[in-house]
Amino acid sequence: MRKLKLGFIGLGQATSKVMARRDEIDTLPYVITDACDLRPHALDAFRKEFGGKVFDNPEDLCRHSDVDVVYIATPADCHREHVEIAARHGKHIVVEKPMALSLADCEAMIKATEAAGVKMLAGHTHSFDAPIRKMREIIRGGTIGDVLMINSWNFNDFNHRSRLTSELKTTRGPIYNQGPHQVDVVRQLGGGMVKSLKAKAIMDSLSETEGGWSCFMEFENGAAATLVYDGRSLFDTSELFWWVGEGGDARPPEINRRQRQKYRRLKGLSRDEMERELDREKEQGRYGAKAFVQRGGGETRHQPFFGLTVVSCDRGTMRQSRDGVIVYGDDGPQEIPLGLELHGRAAELKEIYGGIVGNRPIFHDGYWALATLEVCTAIAESVKESREITLSRQVPVRE
């Protein structure tokens, strides 16, 4: 099987999550070769681990490396520029969520990749999770009828995790950072075509930015949905879900409270000291940091869990379980166990491989991600203007 050469633009926390699943990536027809980043110690670590070429800027990597695919995991406000560079040099692209921070940037990225004839997949979102994909498959199979309603709830500590205040403000708290996960999950289950929405945000008095939202949306097919996200919460949705965390690993029950306490302590420092401390803590999770520990294999894992999503269909109801999906039908609940097959970033790499080598359509392409960003933008607009927003850039699920 033809192997593709894979390079990384940005070796931060998102890339450390890719590397933490090297056991999965290694089963795919890729060979990891080159990388670029601004942090010299991350480049040293990469060179030691993979032996490939390293660069301190994306232009040089794209010009001097023969990688087939670049994985772009730089901050969201760099995505457009880095996608345009990669496309100009004929590289296929996986770009982390959010695809960009404006619809105009998404359009420019689509245009650049189409003009260059390269494939782009916009990830990583929890719509790749096996239980979400399984629920979509059940809907498509028609055994429990049409989707009537989807309700998705996620309560966690997002706003108080370690990241620079500027990063939190750029993404309007969780709206553009976490919104793409929840919106992608709900759009995938509801068929993709959101007709309109109305939303209200809550503020987080600790981080002084948006802390979450409550959003009601309608799909063109008549289904209704609520999306609730609270990233400054003392309650944790994992409490209702066997304390399984976002990645399928164990989530400590006290984490939300501890994160708030930490954040409150940092607020007692000067602004500069607080920022330095936040970045120092975030650095611990970036690729190449001294404390970075590669995981993979071994430990018990369950399905990834990005909040509880309940899907009400005409003749049954579904939700995720720890290890699969539960379908509630006339004969009682039935659990469908799912293996820990490829999900997340490994699933993305598999999907874009099929696009590049097999010329198969890419489900999570630029148009899909633009439509998801349109919903996030509409949430922000509805909050600001206190009115219902009609969507116009939606695309259906590509089955």
Ligand X SMILES: NC(=O)c1ccc[n+]([C@@H]2O[C@H](COP(=O)([O-])OP(=O)(O)OC[C@H]3O[C@@H](n4cnc5c(N)ncnc54)[C@H](O)[C@@H]3O)[C@@H](O)[C@H]2O)c1
**Terminal CA-to-CA distance of the chain, rounded, Å?**
26
Q: Is 13 in the site for ligand X (CB under 6 A)?
A: yes
Residue 367, classed as helix, strand or coil, is: helix
Minimum CB–partner distance for residue 382 and ligand X (Å): 22
Instruction: Give strand pairing partners of 325.
Output: 320, 336
Select the residue interacting with ligand X from 7, 17, 45, 378 (CB under 6 A): 17
CA-to-CA separations, 344 to 60, 155, 180, 327, in angstroms, rounded: 28, 21, 14, 23
Q: Is 73 in the site for ligand X (CB under 6 A)?
A: yes
Per-residue x/- mask for ligand X, residues 194 to 213, rule CB under 6 A?
--------------------
Q: Is 97 in the site for ligand X (CB under 6 A)?
A: yes
Identity of the residue, 123 or 316, whose beta carbon is nearer to ligand X in the bound complex: 123
Q: Is 37 in the site for ligand X (CB under 6 A)?
A: yes
Select the residue interacting with ligand X from 50, 69, 70, 75 (CB under 6 A): 75
Minimum CB–partner distance for residue 204 and ligand X (Å): 18
Q: Is 41 in the site for ligand X (CB under 6 A)?
A: no
Minimum CB–partner distance for residue 395 and ligand X (Å): 22
Contact criterion met (CB below 8 Å) for 125 and 96: no
Select the residue interacting with ligand X from 33, 65, 74, 182 (CB under 6 A): 74
Q: Is 10 in the site for ligand X (CB under 6 A)?
A: yes
Identity of the residue, 12 or 173, whose beta carbon is nearer to ligand X in the bound complex: 12
Q: Is 181 in the site for ligand X (CB under 6 A)?
A: no
Token pair of 357 as six digits: 């080598």
Q: Is 11 in the site for ligand X (CB under 6 A)?
A: yes
Identity of the residue, 17 or 133, whose beta carbon is nearer to ligand X in the bound complex: 17
Instruction: Give strand pairing partners of 120.
Output: 93
Contact positions with ligand X (CB under 6 A) in 250-289: 282, 286
Helix residue spans in the chain (DSSP H): 13-19, 22-25, 40-50, 58-64, 79-88, 103-116, 130-141, 165-170, 174-177, 179-190, 255-267, 271-283, 344-357, 366-385
Other beta carbons within 10 angstroms of residue 105's beta carbon come to 21
Please tell me the distance from the alpha carbon of residue 215 to that of residue 198, in angstroms, as a whole number. Answer: 6
Select the residue interacting with ligand X from 57, 214, 226, 284 (CB under 6 A): 57
Contact positions with ligand X (CB under 6 A) in 114-143: 124
Token pair of 284 as six digits: 């611990």
3-state helix, strand, coil in the chain (%, to 5): 40, 25, 35
Contact criterion met (CB below 8 Å) for 189 and 139: yes
Residues near ligand X (CB under 6 A), total: 25
Select the residue interacting with ligand X from 28, 31, 78, 206 (CB under 6 A): 78
Smallest CA-to-CA distance from 220 within 38, 394, 23 is with 394
Identity of the residue, 262 or 282, whose beta carbon is nearer to ligand X in the bound complex: 282
Residues that bind ligand X (CB under 6 A): 9-14, 17, 36-39, 42, 57-58, 73-76, 78, 96-97, 124, 177, 282, 286
